[in-house]
Amino acid sequence: MKSMVPDYLDAVLQGVRSDTSGERAQYIPELATADPDLLSAAFATVDGEIYGSGDVDVEFTIQSISKPFVYALALADRGFDAVHAKVGVEPSGEAFNEISLEPGSGRPRNPMINAGAITVHSLAGRDRESADDRVARVVRGLSAFANRPLHVDADMCASEMEHAHRNLAIAHMLRSQDVLVEDPTAIVEGYVRQCSVLVTTRDLAVMAATLANAGVNPLSGDQVIPAPVVRQVLTVMATCGMYDAAGDWATQVGIPAKSGVAGGLIGALPGQIGIATFSPRLDAHGNSARGVSLFERYSNDMGLHVM
Ligand code: DON
């Protein structure tokens, strides 16, 4: 059965190649110039087998796919109560860059939208850590998920920071409510560096497989985060990972997932596999158009709907 996987991946990629719908993210100039035709897919099993097709070793920025992993790091570093006091777990039903704060508490509704992820970034590592140490903690943590030392793309980061007015506005709002307790600009800078970490489709499949494998990286055998944290993260991915398309995704694909505006998309099937796709053109929700089609096919062809 396993020997058929590469042929299957080649065939499904071929099936979506002619779909050129959607647009590259325009609000980050470095992303607007990405090669729109790049296309890849990878599976990593919980026993450490990796299968890939297409441009699996091309690097691109992780963007919002970092959010579930840094949520995991923050939960592991600070504990559930400390994180939950600052960020909720309710789907917002809104776009990823909406303000979406709970009335009263001012808590972002969930850790997958930007408001929540900016807050979660501020909670990674120890209390009162310097901004640089926090980014180092995040990059080290993401690297442990990927089983490879990862790096920040400084050009992408600078390009995003030049146009980060919306995230800066959200962070100032969070600071005004004391959800953030440090300089909002420094936190957004750290968050943008987190989003600018370079990964390949293969890396993302391994990272997703670590979630599928109860927090144990299937390549290194290391327990990257505790199993109860993984349960929390996968649940929030299932309910909030696809933003305002979360309901369509749950019914049509049914796999806990997370997308990024560079065109990456991951899914994690507990006890089975981590799945990753990459294609830069995005649909109206900011999710990779061909990536969504690929996941729909996987789900139908292999009966992977678990939600
Ligand atoms: O903060 C931002 O807008 C980007 N760095 C990340 C957004 C993102 O990936 C949304 N997902 N599809």
Measure CA of the first residue to CA of the last residue in the chain; give whole Å: 25
Residue that terminates a domain, selected from 171, 195, 219: 195
pLDDT digits (tens, 9 = 90+) for 270-307: 999 999 999 999 999 999 999 999 999 999 999 999 98
Do residues 247 and 232 lie in contact, with contact meaning Cβ atoms separated by under 8 Å? no
65 Cα nearest atom in ligand 1: 9
pLDDT at 1 over 60: no
Q: How many CA atoms lie within 13 A of 83 on its CB side?
A: 27
What pLDDT, on the 0 to 100 scale, is given for residue 289? 97
Active site residue 64: yes
Q: What is the DSSP letter of 225?
A: S
Q: What is the ipTM of this complex?
A: 0.99
What pLDDT, on the 0 to 100 scale, is given for residue 219? 98
Do residues 270 and 118 lie in contact, with contact meaning Cβ atoms separated by under 8 Å? no
166 Cα nearest atom in ligand 1: 3
The verdict on 75 and 191 lying in the same domain is yes
pLDDT digits (tens, 9 = 90+) for 205-239: 999 999 999 999 999 999 999 999 999 999 999 99
Residue-averaged pLDDT of the chain: 96
The verdict on 128 and 190 lying in the same domain is yes
Please indicate, yes or no, if residue 159 is contained in any of the structural domains: yes
Catalytic residue, candidates 261, 279, 288, 292 = 261
pLDDT digits (tens, 9 = 90+) for 111-127: 999 999 999 999 999 88
- Cross-strand bridge partners of residue 278: 40, 264
**pTM tops 0.95:** yes
- Look up residue 15 and give its two tokens: 């099936």
Could you tell me the pLDDT band of residue 2, with boundaries at 50, 70 and 90? low
Q: Given ligand 1 and candidates 63, 66, 69, which is best to mutate, with the most ligand atoms within 8 Å of its CB?
A: 63
287 Cα nearest atom in ligand 1: 12
Quick one: how far is CA 199 from the chain centroid?
11
Cα distances (Å, whole numbers) of residue 235 to 124, 207, 231, 257, 288: 20, 16, 6, 10, 21
Count of structural domains within the chain: 2
The verdict on 156 and 118 lying in the same domain is yes
- Cross-strand bridge partners of residue 45: 273
pLDDT digits (tens, 9 = 90+) for 173-210: 999 999 999 999 999 999 999 999 999 999 999 999 99
Q: Considering Cα of 79, then 72, then 180, then 183, what sign does the dihedral take?
A: positive
Active site residue 191: yes
Residue that terminates a domain, selected from 150, 175, 195: 195
Residue that terminates a domain, selected from 130, 164, 195: 195
Query: Which of 219, 306, 242 is closest to 65 using CA atoms?
Result: 242
The verdict on 169 and 264 lying in the same domain is no
The verdict on 277 and 203 lying in the same domain is yes
The whole-number average pLDDT for the span 13-39 is 96
Cα distances (Å, whole numbers) of residue 52 to 113, 198, 261, 301: 29, 18, 21, 17
Residue 8 CA, ligand 1 centroid: distance in Å: 30
The whole-number average pLDDT for the span 35-53 is 97
Catalytic residue, candidates 53, 67, 143, 259 = 67
Burial of 229-259, coded b for 16+ CB within 10 Å and e otherwise, reads bbebbbebbbbbbbbbbbeebbeebbbbbbb
Q: Given ligand 1 and candidates 64, 110, 156, 168, which is best to mutate, with the most ligand atoms within 8 Å of its CB?
A: 64
196 Cα nearest atom in ligand 1: 5
Residue 141 and residue 136: Cα distance in Å, rounded? 8
Q: Which domain holds residue 97?
A: 66-195
The verdict on 50 and 99 lying in the same domain is no
| Residues lining ligand 1, Cβ inside 6 A | 63-64, 96-97, 114, 160, 167, 195, 259-261, 286-287
For the annotated binding site for substrate, the residues are: 64, 114, 160, 167, 191, 243, 261
Active site residue 258: no
The verdict on 83 and 184 lying in the same domain is yes
Do residues 207 and 141 lie in contact, with contact meaning Cβ atoms separated by under 8 Å? no
Q: Considering Cα of 306, then 40, then 201, then 94, what sign does the dihedral take?
A: negative
The verdict on 124 and 50 lying in the same domain is no
Please indicate, yes or no, if residue 307 is contained in any of the structural domains: no
Given the structure tokens 């007015």, which residue do they identify?
165
The whole-number average pLDDT for the span 7-15 is 96
The verdict on 85 and 153 lying in the same domain is yes
The verdict on 129 and 224 lying in the same domain is no
The whole-number average pLDDT for the span 251-257 is 97
| Contacts with 166 (C-beta within 8 Å, 6 or more apart), sequence order | 97, 114
pLDDT digits (tens, 9 = 90+) for 124-159: 998 888 999 999 999 999 999 999 999 999 999 999
| CATH number for the domain that contains residue 242 | 3.40.710.10
The whole-number average pLDDT for the span 87-95 is 95
Please indicate, yes or no, if residue 37 is contained in any of the structural domains: yes
Q: Considering Cα of 110, then 295, then 222, then 62, what sign does the dihedral take?
A: negative
The verdict on 180 and 90 lying in the same domain is yes
The verdict on 77 and 177 lying in the same domain is yes
